[in-house]
Chains A and B, each alone.
Chain A
Amino acid sequence: MDGNAMYSKEAVEYMWKAAIPLQIHLDESEVTTFPAPPPAFVLGTRIGYLPLLMPVLKPYFSNVLPPGDDTIWFDYKGLPLKWHIPTGVLFDLLCAEPERPWNLTVHFRGYPSGLLTPCDDEDTVKRSFINSLKEAAYIINGNCKNIMNMSEADQLDLWQSVLKGQMDGYLRVSSSRLKLRPLGEDCLLKKIPNNHPQSNTSETASIISNQTGRIPVRLYVRYAKEDLDDLDEMPPVISWDNISYINRPVEIHFEEGKYYTLRTAMESLLPEYGIQTFITKADDHPESSSASTPDTFEQDISNCLKFKSKIKFIRIHGIEPAPDIPLSWVFNNLSNPDYFLHISVTVLLENNTMSTRSLTS
């Protein structure tokens, strides 16, 4: 693995260790003492899930809670947080300007079952994680038999590694049991010729016969109504209806000399925006733009122009990668333990399109 140019152990280690400082306040309706308890300061791992903080938060707040059963949930500025989205993705998506520490409100009562999928305990989070893993395996391999046939012990080992943030333990189980290998050696993803020395291996044969790779990607797109210069001015998200969730793999066709970048992936995942303008921070990078011809006949050029928008930023694990970074490198090094590449996008809608387009339409 060390000789693989597409894999950087250092990058993966950083990804596993990344954490967000959280300042967690107990919802005032659940405070039964005076004065209110001080907030809890916790480091939340980016690849983790908020309900997993229960063992830390419940003892901290239990003395002031009213009687009743505990079901933990969180909100940020009034928006209930979806527990099955990794903590780091929620932060990147909801805090346009990173807020440190991130102020969250925790609740142990009044679970908003109309808005959030039930989450009773750690086992629910584990099942959700395993389901995501199965989905990723299906995308990559065409089936999820390796996960379905995994023993309970291995499954538990895998989950415990995620729970405790232990990269080495995770890699040990995932490499031997999941068999979800990183993408090809070369960023050009060249086809392996028939006379290649390894062409007789089953893995190589599978690649040759397949000729198409699929990368598990989940896109979270936030829309803002105004062309803001200052991210601090961006209004908070008040409803999940203002966020588009796109769960769609990126297909890569192994053609000679074909070059897949993060930009090409984004263009395929956001078909509504046929013409994209990437704006990075003005002081750091020159503005780069890209225009692509719509692939399908259904896509109307005028519609693209009508819904022209600007991608304010694209964030993966809190960083804004250059659009031309090789997609295989991004996937191999920045995927979450569920083997999904989670991408947070903030899109600014042009002011002149507001009269013709509604966010909820």
Chain B
Amino acid sequence: MKKNWRSDGTLSADDFVISAIDLIEKWKQIDSAKNLWSLNSSRIGDVYLSLVENIYCSGENNPNFSHHFQNKDEELTWHHHSSEEINIEEDEVYDDVDNDTEDIAALVLDGNNDIHTYDFHIIYSHSYKVPVLYFRGCKHDGQPLDSRSVERDLPLYSSTIMKESKWTYVTQEEHPFLHRSWYMLHPCGTSEWMKLLLLAGSKESDDTPRNEQPLSESELSEVKRYLPSWLSVVGQVVGLKIPFEIQKKSDTHTS
């Protein structure tokens, strides 16, 4: 007999796969989404998600233009959050336009801009029973970025939240499947804030234990909602924007 995941903010390994597959399908349906998550399998049988993102950034000799930007023709996928709102609101769409204009100016002024490529992996932690975000960056020539460069690429929001909370921090850890050093958003506090987040978004608080029978439709929709909700928080820390439509679809699904 499984414990209902909403009561403690965790997710079982099987439900992680369900939510992961659903996230991929939703992401595909968004026309504006430029890059897609893909499903991978490790040799020991664990399933995980991966995504590649490119960002444009200024060179080290232009510290004043350390914020990131993109060409106006490309969708802006990295941006700052000035507020601590978890849910992405309509206003941010307008803010993106302003940021885009400002970034173009930075692009013109800066002759040393470079492209940084980031890999993101969402891997299930059997210890903490929550998803974990691993990421790493490299330059256009494939050279890995050092921690100072990665730190500069992170949104300003990250440094603020990491100063205020001892539960949210980025460390360098070994990727469990690739045997290399990656950055990781430490999962030790995830179940606590996911518990709050899911309760806030759930109209019905149901603590009924779930048996081994197949998921009911409402239970299935709750499981599918886990990863978009988780990503709406985690994505902010690393500047990975979740398309507004994903959150909208998730909310619509449960209403």
Among A114, A116, A216, A248, the residue within 8 A (CB) of B144 is: A114
Contact with A along B170-201 (1 / 0, CB 8 A): 01111010011100001010000000000000
List B151-175 residues whose CB lies under 8 Å from chain A: 166-167, 171-174
Instruction: Give the A-B contact count at a CB cut-off of 8 A.
Output: 53
Given contacts A113-B144, A135-B127, A138-B128, contact A84 B181 (CB under 8 A): no
Check B53 for interface membership: any CB of A closer than 8 A.
Answer: no
B111 at the interface (CB under 8 A from A): no
Interface size on B, residues (CB 8 A): 21
Given known A134-B188, A247-B127, A248-B126, contact A115–B180 (CB-CB < 8 A)? yes
Does B203 touch A at the CB level, under 8 Å? no
Q: Is A131 an interface residue (CB 8 A)?
A: yes
Tell whether, in the assembled complex, residue B128 and residue A244 are in contact, meaning their CB atoms are under 8 Å apart. Answer: no
Name the residue on A nearest B192 (C-beta): A143
A116–B8 CA distance with the chains assembled, in angstroms: 35
Contact A116 to B176, CB < 8 A, known contacts A134-B188, A139-B127, A272-B45: no
Q: Tell me, yes or no, whether A60 is within 8 Å of chain B by CB.
A: no
B172 and A272 form a contact (CB under 8 A): no
Complex contacts, A248 vs chain B, CB 8 Å = 126-127
Chain A 112-131 residues near chain B, CB threshold 8 A: 113-118, 127, 131
Residues of B within 8 A of A241 (CB): 179
Is B108 among interface residues, defined by CB-CB distance under 8 A? no
Q: Tell me, in angstroms, the Cα distance from A142 to B172 when the chains sit together.
A: 24
Structural contact, A117 and B174, CB atoms closer than 8 A: yes
Interface string of A82-95 (1 = CB under 8 A from B): 10100000000000
Confirm or deny: A148 has a beta carbon within 8 angstroms of a beta carbon on chain B: yes
- A249→B166 contact, CB < 8 A: no
- Residue among B144, B167, B173, B174 with the highest chain A CB neighbour number at 10 A: B174
Question: Is B44 an interface position by the 8 A CB rule?
Answer: yes
Min CB distance, B148 to chain A, in Å?
12
* Distance in Å: Cβ of B193 to nearest Cβ of chain A: 13
Name the contact of B181 in the complex, choosing from A118, A139, A249 (C-beta under 8 A).
A118
Report which of B127, B166, B171, B179 forms a contact with A148, defined as CB distance below 8 A.
B166
**Residue pair A118, B172 in contact (C-beta under 8 Å):** yes
A144 at interface, CB cutoff 8 A = yes
Contacts of B147 in A (CB 8 A): 118
A240 at interface, CB cutoff 8 A: yes
Query: Could you tell me if B127 and A271 are in contact, using CB atoms closer than 8 angstroms?
Result: no
Report the Cα distance A176→B188, complex, angstroms: 22
B13 (CB) vs chain A CBs: closest residue: A248
Decide: B126 and A84 in contact? CB cutoff 8 A. no
B126 cross-chain contacts in A, Cβ below 8 A: 247-249
Chain A residues with CB under 8 Å of B44's CB are 244, 246, 272
| Contact status A114-B180, CB under 8 Å | yes
- A240, B127: Cβ atoms under 8 Å? no
Residues of the B chain whose Cβ atoms lie less than 8 Å from the Cβ of A114: 144, 180-181
Shortest Cβ distance from A132 into B: residue:
B127
Nearest B residue to A246, CB-CB: B44
Residues on B with beta carbons closer than 8 Å to the beta carbon of A243: 179
Complex formed: what's the CA distance from A139 to B179 in Å? 23
Query: Is A14 at the interface (CB under 8 A from chain B)?
Result: no
Say if the beta carbon of A41 comes within 8 Å of chain B. no
* B interface, CB within 8 angstroms of A: 8, 43-45, 126-128, 144, 147, 166-167, 171-174, 176, 179-181, 186, 188
Query: Which A residues are closer than 8 A to B by beta carbons?
Result: 82, 84, 113-118, 127, 131, 134-135, 138-139, 142, 144, 148, 216, 240-241, 243-249, 271-272, 361
- Apart from the given pairs A135-B128, A138-B128, A247-B176, 20 other A-B contacts in the complex at a CB distance below 8 Å: A84-B174, A113-B144, A114-B180, A115-B180, A116-B181, A118-B147, A127-B171, A134-B188, A135-B188, A138-B127, A142-B8, A144-B188, A148-B166, A148-B167, A148-B188, A240-B179, A244-B43, A245-B176, A248-B127, A272-B44
Q: List 27 A-B contacts (CB under 8 A).
A: A82-B174, A84-B174, A113-B144, A113-B181, A114-B180, A114-B181, A115-B180, A117-B172, A117-B173, A117-B181, A118-B172, A131-B171, A131-B186, A134-B188, A135-B188, A138-B188, A142-B8, A148-B166, A148-B167, A240-B179, A245-B179, A246-B44, A247-B176, A248-B126, A248-B127, A249-B127, A361-B43
